Amino acid sequence: MKKIYLFTLLFMAQAMVAGVNVQIADGLDNTSLQSKMETAMSGLLTEINKAEMEHRNLNFAALAIPEPVKESLTMLWENSPFQCTDDEIVETCLTTNSGYQIRNIPLMMKPRDDTFNESEYQEAVISFDKYGNMESFYLSLNMNLYMNVMRSNNQITDIRRRQLILDYVERFRTAYNTKDIHFLNQVFSDDALIITGKVVKVVKDGVQYPSKITYNKQTKEEYLQKLQQVFKRNSYIKVTFDEIEVSRHPVNPDVYGVTLHQGYTSSNYHDDGYLFLLWDFSDEEAPKIHVRTWQPDSFDGKRFPKEKVFTFADFEDQ
């Protein structure tokens, strides 16, 4: 009798955790569209929770989700299963150039890799087209970072362009977490310049001198080939951004510099540094990255000077 009682309690607890109800508080006047989006999000997040608890793959059979979203979720799941931490989500709907977004979806990442046995909190953003059809599911920037760019960047007066830039930054970040080499191949221009900094310790005649940073230049092809090998060697990759600055090119209004403080963790490696991306949004349907640089955020126990982080001025010919 006691075993039956305990089993019943466990079953009830699982059911309570698994079920997720999403409500759109404001930002959308169309009630039928609102209901459609709420149903889609509630169904997806409930399935995510059930799959995580049952240690199985996601099952999209009963969900009206397009193939690109299924593929993205599947790749993210392979890297690290996750769970929605709230059973009741009430959020504002944001209007974008192409449709709508619901941000601030709380997730707890639960990697199966033995190296990473601790869960980690992250947030997701779900996008819909103007008809309420789900278009994407990405790991998002922290809401404070997102809103800081939306509210305070005087250089980018076009709110629509700000949203687009942040959306692609989130796609870019998620591509590393999902090992989506196809997206990265699309987003880097064919002549993209990739620069990676490395701290080198200098020792001569047994005497250690101040470390220096050396820079390695790569083509798009070289970088993606090496990255694909990194993806294969590591069962788990996590990329996070905890600082972001966006600036517009002083001459070309379609070119933007995005500076991010990045945390990178894989199955056998970790680093923190500054990432600079030079984006060209001349074609908003297919923006391109012409420059990607990475520099360590510290060496010899000292913070890397912010004034030495790469900017537009370092790539005037790009």
Tell me the pLDDT tens digit for each residue of 30-77: 999 999 999 999 999 999 999 999 999 999 999 989 999 999 999 999
Residue 315's pLDDT is what?
86
Other C-beta atoms closer than 10 Å to the C-beta of 173 total 21
- The segments of the chain whose pLDDT lies below 50 read 1-16
pLDDT at 8: 42
**Residue 53 confidence (pLDDT):** 92
The phi and psi torsions of 53 (rounded to 5 degrees) equal: -65, -35
pTM for the predicted model, two decimal places: 0.85
pLDDT value at residue 306: 86
Between vectors from CA 57 to CA 51 and to CA 58, what angle results, nearest 5°? Answer: 65
The whole-number pLDDT of residue 16 equals: 47
Instruction: Give the model's pLDDT for residue 211.
Output: 65
For 107, the 3-state DSSP assignment is strand
pLDDT score of 288: 97
Q: Coil, strand or helix: which one is 133?
A: coil
Per-residue pLDDT, 7: 40
Of the candidates 228, 232, 222, 304, the residue with the CA atom closest to the CA atom of residue 268: 232
